[in-house]
Amino acid sequence: MDSQSINRFNLPLPPVSVIITCFNLELYIKDCIESVLSQDYEGELDILVVDDCSCDASLQIIQSVAHSSSNIRIISNSKNRGVLLSTISGIESSAHDLLMFLDGDDIWLPSKVSEMVKLYSTYPGLSFATHAIYKFRGDFVPTSVANSKQSISISTRRSRNSLQRQILRQSSCLWLGSAYTLNKKALDLQLFCSLVKEHSLAVSSYQDWPLATWASLQSDTVFCSIPTQLMAYRIHDSNHSGAAHSVPLLRRNAYKGLCTFVIIDDILSLYPRECKYAPLIRSKRCYYEYLVSICDGNYLHAFRSLFMSLHFLISRPYLFLKESVRASFLLVFGFSLYGYFKVSCRTVRSRRYRDPA
């Protein structure tokens, strides 16, 4: 779907702001930006690249690519502010109402922007849209293919099985990340930015779920999800999906998850009418508290957090049963990690006090 097929009536194509966030992604950021520059969309693209005080050559690479394109603007943080605050900087600096987001290690397929704009043109009033994705390692980027088992899903907050409910229940079937598109004016993102950037944990939070939660809580939000795969999500050793192979990295991911759910819980508290979702959010918050405590070796607090994560779900039998099964696996994981630490400590002591003779 290109721009010509969208603009059959010669109407002006809406301008789009693209916000790219980057931190130490020198291996991937050039491919990321070039995937935006190679879009088949003929309307205006305002590309904001936010470098979060990278320690590698990311900023130099961004500047080099920007020299060849007049529609790239660079925001360089003087200190590391985290992906959520970097995204907020991009939102506040964006020139247009239609916002698309891209992580600096992911890649858009050429028709991504055209397909999203087509949705907003087809469904006036649409304020939140997302799509299916690819996951890949290395340099392979496939072509766009729709999942024939799914169909386009349009819903409002009042729909029985709406996308809003999927967001507030943190559904794994719904992809956010570098896939979703927002209407800045319809969702009052200025208010979101002013509230969240003052939060003490914003520097350590993920960006997509707080934004999606805010969108799902607005009274007139119209949601859309399409099965077409328009983005390639790169899995590597430094990102969330590829970096849980050691205790320090697991702890980093778990702490970011904990900060994210604290912020989501605080956002939800502003909307008492949606309090029915609070137990699930607090259960997930306690789940991440458990993981952080296990990694820190604070086992008493860990098992208390695990108990509280189940306590919040007692009023929902299905979720309680589902989370109880997961809790049993987490207990096994916790005891296994505890055993690993004990063996490691004994090994260190034996090496330290071994007679050198």
Q: Directed axis angle between helix 189-196 and helix 82-93, to 10°?
A: 140
Max CA-CA distance within the chain?
89
d(CA 347, CA 331): 24
Domains contained in the chain, number: 2
Residue 356 lies in a domain: no
C-alpha count within 13 angstroms, C-beta hemisphere, residue 14: 21
Do residue 220 and residue 272 come from a single domain?
A: no
Residue-level pLDDT at 333: 58
Domain extent for 288: 247-350
Do residue 319 and residue 344 come from a single domain?
A: yes
Given the structure tokens 């997930």, which residue do they identify?
284
End-to-end CA distance of the chain: 75
d(CA 165, CA 171): 8
Do residue 254 and residue 229 come from a single domain?
A: no
Contacts of residue 158, defined as CB under 8 A and 6 or more positions apart, other chains included, come to: none
Kindly report the backbone phi and psi dihedral angles of residue 314, in degrees, each rounded to the nearest multiple of 5, phi listed first: -60, -35
Do residue 150 and residue 251 come from a single domain?
A: no
Q: Where are the alpha helices (DSSP H) in the chain?
A: 3-6, 29-37, 58-66, 82-93, 112-122, 163-168, 189-196, 208-217, 247-268, 278-296, 299-311, 317-353
- For residue 224, the SS3 value is strand
Residue 16 lies in a domain: yes
Query: Could you say which of 234, 262, 288 is where a domain stops?
Result: 234
Do residue 228 and residue 259 come from a single domain?
A: no
Query: Could you say which of 234, 259, 284 is where a domain stops?
Result: 234
- The token pair that represents 86 in the structure block: 């970097």
Residue 46 lies in a domain: yes
Do residue 198 and residue 112 come from a single domain?
A: yes
Do residue 12 and residue 149 come from a single domain?
A: yes
d(CA 96, CA 45): 9
Residue 241 lies in a domain: no
Residue-level pLDDT at 236: 81
The pLDDT confidence band at residue 27, using thresholds 50, 70 and 90, is: very high
Q: Is the dihedral of CA 142, 174, 249, 336 positive or negative?
A: negative
Residue type, 49: V
The CATH code of the domain that includes 131 is 3.90.550.10
Which tens digits make up the pLDDT trace of 291-325? 899 889 898 898 888 888 777 666 565 555 555 55
Query: Could you say which of 210, 234, 258 is where a domain stops?
Result: 234
Do residue 115 and residue 193 come from a single domain?
A: yes
Which tens digits make up the pLDDT trace of 105-141? 999 999 999 999 999 999 888 999 999 998 888 765 5
d(CA 337, CA 327): 15
Do residue 264 and residue 286 come from a single domain?
A: yes
d(CA 178, CA 102): 4
- Compute the average pLDDT of residues 146-162: 56
d(CA 107, CA 136): 10
Residue 134 DSSP code: E
Residue 128 lies in a domain: yes
Q: Which residue has the higher pLDDT, 91 or 336?
A: 91
Do residue 115 and residue 151 come from a single domain?
A: yes
- Compute the average pLDDT of residues 228-256: 80
Residue-level pLDDT at 351: 45
Do residue 269 and residue 178 come from a single domain?
A: no
Do residue 136 and residue 82 come from a single domain?
A: yes
Whether the predicted pLDDT of 231 surpasses 50: yes
